[in-house]
Amino acid sequence: QRNMKIEQINKHISTVIVEIKHGNKDILSRLTTIESHLSDSDGRLAAAEAQITSLTSTVAVLHERLNDQENRACRNNLRILGFTEGVEQGNPTCFWEKTLPALLKQPEGTVLSIEWAHRSLAPRPAPGQRPRPFIIKLLRFSIKKLLLKSAQDLGSLEWERHKILFFPDLSKALQDRRRLLLPVKKIL
């Protein structure tokens, strides 16, 4: 009887060992499959990271080109601050054709060749708030330079007790880059 029990126990142990071996084979097969998938995933991840790096540099180049195009499109534009709202009486181009030569003390009959003029596209300010700037597109860059130089030479400009300021029309990105150079200009 004792031998029978030992034989049954040995048989049971052998069966359990066979089951464990079979389970180990299954686990090893699954582990091999997981390692294969992981290797494939690592390859895809590396390819995706390389593509993201490439696309990031492409976007940066395109963003620089866009800023350059925006600044080139505004090359002949002037931005004028200080004129009260409604002073142009619905026709800003005619208003500027008459007002700019007188304001900047240009010779009689100076032709400005204004293509268009309008207020900036911000919402109309409430009374007492700072008025929106005018943006004027001139047909010739040389006229823009002449007007900016005249404004600079005259120094402080006033029109109907309002201080008037002239600026080139630059993109926000270029204005920010120029602002970063101000401390260096002060040192120099």
Measured over all CA atoms, what is the biggest interatomic distance in the chain, rounded to whole angstroms? 132
Structural domain harbouring 84: 77-187
Task: Give the residue-averaged pLDDT of 11-15.
Answer: 88
Whether 100 and 68 share a structural domain: no
pLDDT of residue 52: 97
* pLDDT for the residue numbered 173: 86
Neighbours of 147 (CB within 10 A): 22
Residues 142 and 64 in one domain: no
Instruction: Tell me: do 6 and 70 sit in the same domain.
Output: yes
The pLDDT-based confidence of 42 (bands split at 50, 70, 90) is very high
**Which residues are registered as beta bridge partners of 165?**
81
Residues 173 and 158 in one domain: yes
Same domain, 138 and 63: no
> Do 103 and 144 lie in a common domain?
yes
Which whole number is the average pLDDT over 75-94?
90
Contact between residue 75 and residue 169 where contact means Cβ atoms under 8 Å apart: no
- 37 and 118 fall within a common domain: no
The answer to whether residues 100 and 112 touch, using CB atoms and an 8 Å cutoff, is yes
Task: For residue 126, give the CATH number of its domain.
Answer: 3.30.70.1820
List Cβ neighbours of 138 (8 Å cut-off, separation of 6 or more): 76, 77, 78, 112, 113, 114, 115, 144, 147
Round to whole Å and give the CA distance between 6 and 101: 118
Asked if 94 and 179 sit in the same domain, the reply is: yes
What's the pLDDT tens digit per position in 110-130?
888 899 999 988 888 888 888
Do residues 107 and 69 both lie within one domain? no
Same domain for 92 and 67: no
Neighbouring C-beta atoms of residue 162, cutoff 10 Å: 13
Choose the final residue of a domain: 20, 43, 74.
74
Share of the chain above pLDDT 90, in %: 43
The three state secondary structure string of 94-146 is HHHHHHHHHHCCCCCCCCCCEEEEEECCCCCCCCCCCCCCEEEEECCHHHHHH
Residue 182 or residue 56, greater confidence: 56
pLDDT of residue 110: 83
Domain identity same for 133 and 113 = yes
Q: Is the pLDDT of residue 2 over 80?
A: no
- Pull the structure tokens for residue 81: 């601050």
The pLDDT score that the predictor gives to residue 175 is 86
Domain stop point among 17, 49, 74: 74
More confident residue, 3 or 68: 68
pLDDT band at 62 (very low <50, low <70, confident <90, very high): very high
Q: What is the pTM of this model?
A: 0.67
- The span from the CA of 124 to the CA of 132, in Å, is 7
Would you say the C-alpha torsion 78, 79, 84, 88 has a positive or negative sign? positive
- Give the count of domains, the chain: 2
- Average the pLDDT over 138-148 and give the result: 92
pLDDT level of residue 89 (50, 70, 90 thresholds): confident
- Domain shared by 5 and 38, yes or no: yes
